[in-house]
């Protein structure tokens, strides 16, 4: 949902600027700056939720026992082939 909102915050101003007859490259730059400012102001909660989810995924310490078994088997196979 956060990504969709970010894309909309870019697309809407870009389309408006293009309809006003502004050059496409100037419309893109202005829409990008506008989207960055608006997302900083209005998407604080969503940005916080995404950052917490990424942090949780990166700092997860629990391992899956199946992964450990598979990794041990692959390590033994690598040692035998060397």
Average pLDDT (40-65) is 85
The answer to whether 27 and 44 have CB atoms below 8 angstroms apart is no
pLDDT at 11 over 90: yes
Would you place residue 63 in the very low, low, confident or very high pLDDT band (cuts 50, 70, 90)?
low
How many angstroms separate the CA atoms of 44 and 9, rounded?
14
pTM: 0.61
How many angstroms separate the CA atoms of 1 and 59, rounded?
23
How many angstroms separate the CA atoms of 41 and 15, rounded?
21
Average pLDDT (3-19) is 95
Q: Which residues contact 28 (CB under 8 A, 6 or more apart)?
A: 14
List the helix and strand counts (H, then E) for the chain.
4, 0
């Amino acid at each position: 949902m956060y990504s969709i909102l970010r894309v909309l915050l870019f697309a809407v101003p870009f389309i408006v600027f293009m309809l006003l007859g502004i050059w496409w490259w100037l419309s893109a730059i202005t829409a990008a700056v506008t989207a960055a400012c608006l997302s900083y102001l209005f998407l604080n909660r969503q940005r916080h939720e995404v950052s917490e989810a990424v942090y949780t995924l990166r700092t997860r310490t629990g391992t899956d026992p199946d992964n450990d078994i598979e990794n041990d088997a692959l390590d033994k196979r690598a040692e035998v082939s060397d």
